[in-house]
Structure 1
Amino acid sequence: MSSQRLHPITIVFTAIKTIKDAIIPIIAMFFASFQRIASTYIYLGVAIFLILLITFSILSWYRFSYRVENEELRIEYGIFIRNKRYISKNRIQSIDLTAGVVHRLFRLVQVQIETAGGGTDAEASLKAVKRVDGERLREALKITEIQVPVQAGESINPSRHVMLKNLFIAGSTSGSVGVILALFAFSFAKIEQFIPDRIFESTIEWLIGLSILFLFGLSLVILLFLWLLGIAGTIIKYGNFTIKKNNDELFITRGLLEKKQITIPLKRIQAVGIEENLIRQPLGYVSIFAEIAGGSMEKGEDFSTILFPIMKASEVDEFLQQFLPAYRAESNKVAPLPKRAAKFYLLRVSSLFIFGVIGMAYFLPSFVWVAVVLLALSLLLGFLRYRDGGYRLEGKCLTIRYRGISRRTVSMYQKRIQSLEKKQHKIQKIQKLATMKLSIIGTGGSGRHYALEHMDNEQANRLAGWYSFRNEKPKDKK
């Protein structure tokens, strides 16, 4: 294969990325110098910056080339210093194709190549190539898999699609309002320093002068807008979501504006989990995710790979049977935590609020009810964490269930666990309790950790024995 260049639209992408990375310093310098430097010099500086930016973007595109030779992807790049990167076909874990709005207008894709231990970024990224060239490159670098005989009852190349109404439910119950509010607060903190003091102070005075009823209504309108924005974001991100299985790989396609095609070799899957947040759990909806070894973790992406954004809890067994039969459990029951562990869960989440109630009762007694409500909610969360905690052993597969805010049930095989650590503090020893911490390889090659706290000490010892191969077939007490 002869050397090829990226599509010329890459010049625009490079320029936009450069401006995006430097936007905060540019704005700060502009406002800092606006009143001290004549406008002629400002325009001259902007013109010089644009000329340098365009020159840099064109040279970066011209000096970037790639080719496949001797079962290697060979990339050469660099304007002044020539860099050469060779990626062996055997090291490649997956090749993902992504098409944003601009890509789709020109029938292009971005090719991301991931290798084992590639770090938080992709090993190589081709920003814009023709779709046919991207698909041809993926086929050229794909390792031929051994055909696995299909077992009786197992679907051949199954696929599943998310319906639009389910995406609406996913967006409505995702709890993304809090995330959007946090992003808004972060953005406001960044730009607040550029708002003139006179405008900022007059706006605050105007808000203070409004009636309580109007502010309450305005807050409801803002929350409704953010809720609708969260729904729209979910639909845009997971629109046309399809998962397919072909031999030893899963193929995921998703996105309305930015179309992503993700390839997941089954051998890279370290764990498979089910997540239920506080809103979805009573409605009987869950999402399925997987922890993938290696690969990249781009900004804005999830720490775990979503295998299916939303489905009924009753459909999970059928989904796992189709796509990941090795992770399908014979029973959904888990060994619960002992009753003596409950007090630890309750105290851990409520201790801060107990002091809050005492402080509010002393300093602001008229608002003590706020601290009492927060204390009650923290006690409820502590009880849910205790009630949902547990584990299950089935041969060489370990399943743990725990709760932060959402409840997660994660299954992993013995050979995928990198370490298993038993921890005890003095009070736990007296109560015959222990905490088990498990680690696997996660996204970006970094460690992914799980902990089941305050479990029975005997159960912890049996898990440690199971992991160290001393007990081949442990059986839980009924």
Structure 2
Amino acid sequence: MSKGTRLHPAAIFFNFIKVLRESIFALVLGFITFKGDSFFYFILVASILLLMLLVYSALSWYRYTYRIEDEELRIEYGIFIRKKRFISKNRIQSIDLTAGIIHRIFKLTKVQIETAGTGTGAEASLKAVKTAEGERLRTELKAAKIPTVNSIEEAPKTDHPSAKITFKCLFIAGSTSGGIGVIFALLAFVFSEVEQFIPERFYDNTIEWVVGLSILFLIGLIIIFLILGWVLGIAGTVIKYGNFTITKNYDELFITRGLLEKKQLTIPLKRVQAVGIQESIIRQPLGYVTVFAEVAGGSMDKGEDFSTVLFPIMKKDEVVDFLEKFLPTHAAGAKDITPLPKRARKFYLLRSVLPMLIIAGGIVYFLPQFSWVPIVLVAGSLYLGFLRHNAGGYQLDGDRLMIRYRVLNKITMIMYHKRIQAFEKSQHMVHRSQKLASMQISIIGKFGVGKHYKLRELEEKDVDYLSDWYSYRS
């Protein structure tokens, strides 16, 4: 492939939309600010600027070419100043394909290429190529890392394990996602921003009308909002994780997901720093968990969360088989976990209940008619503290460490000694008198940012033992 290839002409539209999105605030401000005769001139200037942006997008597309030559991806771009970027195949860590709604209409895909040095943005991003071309690029750029025919014949197992989420699991994931809380928080934020524009008389009349309603009507209204939030949570989960499929191909994992925007993520196994199992408060009684991985590097262009979901939801007793199939090194054995000492429980209860006592005092002072609320808050916080203490513990098996803790959801992290970047022991005066200590373990996470896991109030001798294990002290 010696001749440079241009992106699909749809890239002009994507470039234009990107620049327009960055300028949307100024355009909206202009529509609000300018009135009368000045509004006509604003429209004229805005139209000229939009035309210039469209021309700029077209020229950027025309001057952007790529080709594969001498084991490198070579990209040339720039309208007035020509820039060249050479990316060696050996430096490429992952190649992700993403197809939004417009991409899928025209059978296009976006190719994002990441290397070990990738930061906030991808090393290279081909915004619009034909889907077949994107697949061909990924195959050709990763060809050097696929085992040869001889090595495949010698391997004891050559199949590529795969798992796909069922609609039943997808529905359960949406129903128990807790997205309703996010929706209500978003609505509360929007209301707080819009409230200043609401006339005071209208606001007061609305409050009086709501207060005058019957209790049954208010309960019915709340139930309707809860059902609406529940439905929206299911819809959001189905859209995000629809057709979720994970496939292992030699030393990489391929994840495909999304109904409206189809994403194909590539995860090199050597970049997996830790594997996590999350049990939310809602899903734990039902026996369902989420399996995720902490992957080093990556870029914000992926649009992913700070942890990469390996499977959105599965039964807890299926996790070991899942890990044996896709990440056998992280499949934790049946060895018992070392729990937190019983004398540590008071620390967990105190930390959990103290903030609620302050909130409860404020409610009793300012809203005495709701004096029953503090009782519920304090009881709930005490129960949460009890759960946090019961969940805590660790398991050490050779070079593999598993720690378990709870903030709101119960998290189990499985990692190897060579992936741990730092180990910290901390103690205060009360800890020393009780022969307790806390530890913090750090690994590399997304975007090169550190991920920290803290386990509080362990036996002091256990923390010292783990510290010696990390430091290779006998």
Q: Calculate the TM-score normalised by the size of structure 2.
A: 0.92
CA displacement at 1:332 relative to structure 2 = 5.8
CA distance in 1, matches of 2:435, 2:71: 57
Deviations 1:412-437 (A, max 9, x none): 00001111111122222222111111
Q: Which residue in 2 is equivalent to 1:337? A: 340
In the alignment, structure 1 residue 419 sits paired with structure 2 residue 422: yes
Structure 1 residues 89 and 273: CA distance shift in structure 2, 3 A: same
1:22 aligns to what SS in structure 2? Answer: helix
Does the 8 Å contact 1:116/1:445 carry over to 2? no
Deviations 1:116-144 (A, max 9, x none): 13113222111110112111111221132
2:139 aligns to what SS in structure 1? Answer: helix
In the alignment, structure 1 residue 161 sits paired with structure 2 residue 164: yes
CA displacement at 1:115 relative to structure 2 = 1.2
Does the 8 Å contact 2:363/2:374 carry over to 1? yes
Equivalent AA in structure 2 for residue 68 of structure 1: I
Deviations 1:329-387 (A, max 9, x none): 11163100111111111111211222333444445433222122111111111111111
Q: How does 1:171-190 map to 2 (within 5 A)?
A: 171-189=174-192
In the alignment, structure 1 residue 13 sits paired with structure 2 residue 10: no
Does the 8 Å contact 1:278/1:406 carry over to 2? yes
CA displacement at 1:187 relative to structure 2 = 4.2
In the alignment, structure 1 residue 82 sits paired with structure 2 residue 82: yes
Equivalent AA in structure 1 for residue 112 of structure 2: Q
2:41 aligns to what SS in structure 1? Answer: helix
Does the 8 Å contact 2:360/2:377 carry over to 1? no
Structure 1 residues 351 and 109: CA distance shift in structure 2, 3 A: same
In the alignment, structure 1 residue 245 sits paired with structure 2 residue 248: yes
Q: Which residue in 1 is equivalent to 2:331? A: 328
Does the 8 Å contact 2:283/2:289 carry over to 1? yes
Structure 1 residues 394 and 23: CA distance shift in structure 2, 3 A: same
Moved more, 220-229 or 391-400: 220-229
Does the 8 Å contact 1:297/1:303 carry over to 2? no
Q: Which residue in 2 is equivalent to 1:130? A: 130
Structure 1 residues 335 and 12: CA distance shift in structure 2, 3 A: same
Equivalent AA in structure 1 for residue 10 of structure 2: I
Does the 8 Å contact 1:93/1:295 carry over to 2? no
Q: 1:440 aligns with which of 435, 439, 443?
A: 443
CA displacement at 1:388 relative to structure 2 = 0.1
Does the 8 Å contact 2:251/2:269 carry over to 1? yes
In the alignment, structure 1 residue 370 sits paired with structure 2 residue 393: no
Does the 8 Å contact 2:30/2:42 carry over to 1? no
Q: Which residue in 2 is equivalent to 1:64? A: 64
CA distance in 2, matches of 1:22, 1:332: 57
Q: Percent identical across equivalent pairs?
A: 56
CA displacement at 1:87 relative to structure 2 = 1.7
CA distance in 2, matches of 1:391, 1:218: 46
Deviations 1:4-25 (A, max 9, x none): 1111111111222222223233
Moved more, 140-149 or 341-350: 140-149
Q: Which residue in 2 is equivalent to 1:396? A: 399
Equivalent AA in structure 1 for residue 119 of structure 2: G
CA displacement at 1:41 relative to structure 2 = 1.8
CA distance in 2, matches of 1:61, 1:343: 64
In the alignment, structure 1 residue 45 sits paired with structure 2 residue 48: no
Structure 1 residues 209 and 366: CA distance shift in structure 2, 3 A: closer
CA distance in 2, matches of 1:217, 1:232: 23
Equivalent AA in structure 2 for residue 418 of structure 1: Q
CA displacement at 1:44 relative to structure 2 = 1.2
Does the 8 Å contact 1:117/1:444 carry over to 2? no
Q: 1:429 aligns with which of 429, 432, 436?
A: 432
Deviations 1:391-447 (A, max 9, x none): 000110000001111111010000011111111222222221111111111111211
Does the 8 Å contact 1:120/1:443 carry over to 2? no
Structure 1 residues 285 and 317: CA distance shift in structure 2, 3 A: same
Q: Calculate the TM-score normalised by the size of structure 1.
A: 0.92
Q: Which residue in 2 is equivalent to 1:73? A: 73
Equivalent AA in structure 1 for residue 136 of structure 2: R
Q: Which residue in 2 is equivalent to 1:31? A: 32
CA distance in 1, matches of 2:379, 2:301: 38
Deviations 1:198-226 (A, max 9, x none): 4x853663354232544443332222212
Deviations 1:39-95 (A, max 9, x none): 322321331232122122212212222122222222222233333222221111100
Q: Which residue in 1 is equivalent to 2:237? A: 234
Equivalent AA in structure 2 for residue 355 of structure 1: I
Equivalent AA in structure 1 for residue 30 of structure 2: M
Structure 1 residues 386 and 222: CA distance shift in structure 2, 3 A: same
Gaps of 5+ in 2: none
Q: Which residue in 2 is equivalent to 1:474? A: none
Structure 1 residues 79 and 334: CA distance shift in structure 2, 3 A: same
Moved more, 54-63 or 78-87: 78-87
Q: Which residue in 2 is equivalent to 1:475? A: none
Equivalent AA in structure 2 for residue 99 of structure 1: A
CA distance in 1, matches of 2:4, 2:158: 41
**How much is the aligned-residue C-alpha RMSD, in angstroms?**
2.1
Q: Which residue in 1 is equivalent to 2:92? A: 92
Q: Which residue in 2 is equivalent to 1:140? A: 140
